[in-house]
Structure 1
Amino acid sequence: MLILHHYPASPWSEVLRLALGLKGLDYGAVEVPSLRPKPELELLTGGYVRTPVLQSGADIFCGTAAAIDALEMLHPSPSLFPEPLRHGHRLLAELAQGSVFVAAAGAAMGELPTTGLEAFWADRERRFGLKPDAFRALAPHLAAQFAAHLANLEAALSDGRAFLGGDTPGHGDLAHYQLLWFQKPRLGGDLSPLLANRPHLGAWALRVADIGHGRPTPITAAEAIAAASSSEPRVRGIVAADSGFQAGQTVLVSQEGSTDAAVEGSLAVLTDRRITLLRDTPETGPVALHFPRLGQIVRGA
């Protein structure tokens, strides 16, 4: 059984929820805290705390990109990378995850107060250097950048295509939809003011939202840990000869732009697309932690 570790307000979890919906899958859903500590999740991941995380037995896929690739491998139809755009969906998703996401976050959170959200702002400042006063000062610029990106999306969809890549939704659609979905709290849950003068984008957003979230069943973190401990990881070890690392070497993996603690493990896979570490604890047994290569820092322990 697939298991999604997420929390409702997580925008990148929304991408994965929609991906599970697009593939029409049943899965267990563990709701994790939005802020640290996340002890059960960290036990599974060796300290990785970002959301979402996808689990298949003792294989733990850390982050949306790794989880999307896992879903495509485990359940290839319908594809998250449909023709004719195919791998262009990956590039669209990378765009949505970079500077465009920062702009969307500025639009979504630029007016968040500090009072009552002290723990949130303290967490974001500690992990990402995000100071509330500086962020609010930059928010008008970020909101303008987000509006410019929405204008580009509106223009792209104005030729009558149903989705960004043509007639069929893919990863690029899901990644860009979450940029809009992220705006719902500041708009009282209603995106119509944002889409009133963007009819093509509005129609597209409705089509993506209609994909839904598949068939989740709430489960506990303890059940997820038990699922890992009763399984064996599936790993085909490949460490690129020119990577500067060797299979079995103890390494640390951390994420760019964050002060989160690195994950330590035995290196099993390192290519230009994937990183896999092996770990073993009494609670989980042997697990494989899978990361996308893009955005990760690998160094010797």
Structure 2
Amino acid sequence: MSQIVLHHYDNSPFGQIVRLCLAHKDIAWKSVEAPVITPKPDLSVLTGGYERIPVMQIGADIYCDTDIITAALEAHTPEPSLYPAPLGSAGKMIALWAANSWFMNSAGAALGANPDIVPEEFWEDRGRRFGMKRETFLPAVPHMQAQFHGAAQLLQDALADGRPYIAGDAPGHADFALLVNIRFVQFAGIMPNTFGDAVANWHDRLGAIGEGDREAWTADAAIDHARDNAPVGGHSVADSKGFEAGQMVSVKTESPDPAAVTGTLVGLDERTIILSREHERCGEVHVHFPRLGQILTPA
């Protein structure tokens, strides 16, 4: 039976988002601790070179980026939904904003207040992969702090009408992506009650969700699990996208990160890119990416 495996590390904000999603859906999962800093050779066996965290694995299907991971979890276990009414899929739009524009400001508020909290190796790694260079990042901290607090006020305003969660009565992906920003700045001593009672109470409600049924696995166990399973088939390449099924292609994130994953194109539409690739340790795997935020080119 295919297991759900999360490759992550505990302090990763995006790993926290996925752990909340797993707990919300009451999904038992296997935990593989990945290094914080590259290289991550065991992870690259499965992904083909993608080393951002988190990566989720279901058997021999590998999901890279929180956007595609949440979509896969929603398909795997539809209820309770990550996109409850009345917001529905609009909740994903809020989540994408929280995990991109607002997250960089929360990083500024958290790390800028105490830049020595992380080692120089961290700055070198994030500079190479995300363009987050210490010498340009730290001077921008006052602006990012102001932007963070401005967005936190929007969150307080949204919750001030008494709703327990962003969508109303049920939590979802939007709440989880917003929450990790409020959690992240606690590294700088900025606590939830700084922003008002509505945010503080919302933070506590979400904290009670926990992380679900978590079991520690090794990277070798996850790789063996991929080898012992076959990737799910039935994908197609949509017409008029400029690519053909079976074509060798490369996928790279829209960032300075030079890492690119090369494989055979087996799936492509407005939401998803799927590559087939092989490695002697894991056999054939399908590597899934969201269409948003990825650069797809012929290999």
> TM > 0.5 between the two?
yes
Q: Specify the code of the residue in structure 2 equivalent to 1:244.
A: G
Q: Specify the code of the residue in structure 2 equivalent to 1:32.
A: A
Gaps of 5+ in 1: none
1:33-182 correspondence runs (5 A): 33-113=35-115, 117-182=119-184
The separation in 1 between residues aligned to 2:116 and 2:22, in whole angstroms, is: 35
2:230 equivalent to 1:232: yes
What SS is found at the alignment partner of 1:299? strand
The separation in 2 between residues aligned to 1:246 and 1:98, in whole angstroms, is: 31
Q: Which residue, out of 2, 18, 22, partners 1:20?
A: 22
The separation in 2 between residues aligned to 1:20 and 1:252, in whole angstroms, is: 30
The separation in 1 between residues aligned to 2:186 and 2:229, in whole angstroms, is: 39
* Contact 2:28/2:212 (<8 A) preserved: yes
Identity %: 42
The separation in 2 between residues aligned to 1:180 and 1:256, in whole angstroms, is: 25
* Contact 1:114/1:121 (<8 A) preserved: no
The structural deviation recorded for 1:116 is: 6.7
What SS is found at the alignment partner of 2:277? strand
Gaps of 5+ in 2: none
Partner of 1:243: 241
TM-score normalized by structure 1? 0.96
The structural deviation recorded for 1:115 is: 8.8
CA deviations over 1:50-91 (Å, ceiling 9, x no partner): 000111000001111111111111111111111111101111
The separation in 1 between residues aligned to 2:89 and 2:97, in whole angstroms, is: 13
The separation in 1 between residues aligned to 2:117 and 2:280, in whole angstroms, is: 41
What SS is found at the alignment partner of 1:61? strand
Q: Which residue, out of 210, 213, 222, partners 2:211?
A: 213
CA deviations over 1:27-71 (Å, ceiling 9, x no partner): 110000000111100111000000001110000011111111111
The structural deviation recorded for 1:13 is: 0.3
Q: Which residue, out of 231, 255, 266, partners 1:257?
A: 255
The separation in 2 between residues aligned to 1:299 and 1:237, in whole angstroms, is: 19
What SS is found at the alignment partner of 2:262? strand
* Contact 1:104/1:146 (<8 A) preserved: yes
The separation in 2 between residues aligned to 1:116 and 1:294, in whole angstroms, is: 30
Q: Specify the code of the residue in structure 2 equivalent to 1:231.
A: N
Partner of 2:287: 289
Instruction: Provide the aligned C-alpha RMSD in A.
Output: 1.3
Q: Which moved more, 1:111-120 or 1:161-170?
A: 111-120
Q: Specify the code of the residue in structure 1 equivalent to 2:276.
A: L
The structural deviation recorded for 1:180 is: 1.0
Q: Specify the code of the residue in structure 2 equivalent to 1:180.
A: I
Mark the CA change 1:234 to 1:142 in structure 2 (over 3 Å): closer, same or farther.
Answer: same
